[in-house]
Chains A and B, each alone.
Chain A
């Protein structure tokens, strides 16, 4: 289907897919890790100054 240089074409597309997938998974895993850490801090009652201030304003 890709002629005599099929190996080069498939290798180029293969490495592109591999790197893009690794990049995507890394960002998704990092996002999950950050959300988990944030939830743990909030569960311990830690609040950012700006969040604490806005809650104080509403009270």
Chain B
């Protein structure tokens, strides 16, 4: 069977019913290992002290806020170009999860910024571009809910998603292009990571755990959306039969 064959919603439901329980177990185990390392093994930072523990959730949320949008952009491309049956389902279901992760990136960043920078918020390039991302997620959710016809909603939100993808490199490189309170990239950068292995390993494990969590939530939400569309189609058949 080719990968494209799983574009069939019925096959997708069958596959995810088998995969999801295992994925959930792997996610829970990864979180258990990551949290153990964060609480009991990872050292305090020489400048920030124990406040650095916020990094282990803030950074994964920030990565996932962008990863989720890139997933939506890929799905939007699939919706517009190939009219892939699951592409719009994927894009629609990723939006609330992306909004939640972006909110958490902003909230945990603010809670980290107050003791370290002395302020909850500054209107600098990094923070403002992430706030714009959060507003874009909310706008896309509103657009999807406003248009009743799923095909029209899919097309409109796909176009808006692809227009908004320009914000992703702005977020990523904002710390290099403009002066900002936010620290520059320290994990994925030219010349290698600047974080000590004792902190980098827990951070990468937590990032993996949150990525797996995103995958679990996304697949669950996609299953719900497929059923919602089936119910809509069946209600229309029922209504047509009653006339």
B interface, how many residues as a size bin? 35 or more
Q: Which 4 A-B pairs have the closest CB atoms?
A: A3-B50, A34-B227, A12-B111, A12-B108
Q: Nearest residue in B to A14 (C-beta to C-beta)? A: B111
Looking at chain B's contact residues, the main secondary structure is helix
- Whether B228 and A34, one on each chain, are in contact in the complex, defined by CB atoms closer than 8 angstroms, is yes
Is B84 at the interface (CB under 8 A from chain A)?
no
Instruction: Enumerate chain A residues within 8 angstroms of B233, measured Cβ to Cβ.
Output: 48-49
> Roughly how many angstroms separate A13 CA and B50 CA in the complex, as a whole number?
13
User: How far, in whole Å, are A11 and B54 apart by their CA atoms in the complex?
Assistant: 10
User: Do A6 and B231 form a contact, CB below 8 Å, given A12-B57, A16-B108, A23-B97?
Assistant: no
Residue in B51, B108, B213, B234 whose CB lies within 8 Å of A41: B234
Q: Are A9 and B238 in contact (CB under 8 A)?
A: no
Answer whether A4 and B49 are a contact pair too, CB < 8 Å, given A19-B100, A19-B103, A23-B217: yes
State whether B227 touches A38 (Cβ < 8 A): yes
A2, closest chain B residue (CB)? B50
21 A-B residue pairs with CB within 8 Å: A3-B44, A3-B50, A3-B51, A8-B112, A9-B51, A12-B54, A15-B107, A20-B213, A23-B217, A24-B217, A28-B220, A30-B224, A31-B220, A34-B224, A34-B231, A35-B227, A38-B231, A38-B234, A41-B235, A44-B238, A47-B234
| Complex alpha-carbon distance, A34 and B213, angstroms | 22
On A, residues with C-beta under 8 Å from B are 1-6, 8-9, 11-13, 15-16, 19-20, 23-24, 27-28, 30-31, 34-35, 37-38, 41, 44, 46-49
On chain A, the residues within 8 Å of B104 by CB distance are 15-16, 19-20
Q: Which chain A residue has the least Cβ–Cβ distance from B103?
A: A19
State in angstroms the CA–CA spacing of A4 and B136 once bound together. Answer: 36
A6 to chain B minimum Cβ distance, whole angstroms, is 7
Cβ of B11 under 8 Å from chain A: no
Quick check: A31 and B58 within 8 Å, CB to CB?
A: no
- Among the interface residues B61, B108, B228, B234, which one has the most CB atoms of the partner chain A within 10 A? B234
A16 touches B224 (CB 8 A): no
Tell whether, in the assembled complex, residue B108 and residue A15 are in contact, meaning their CB atoms are under 8 Å apart: yes
Q: Is the CB of A9 within 8 A of B103?
A: no
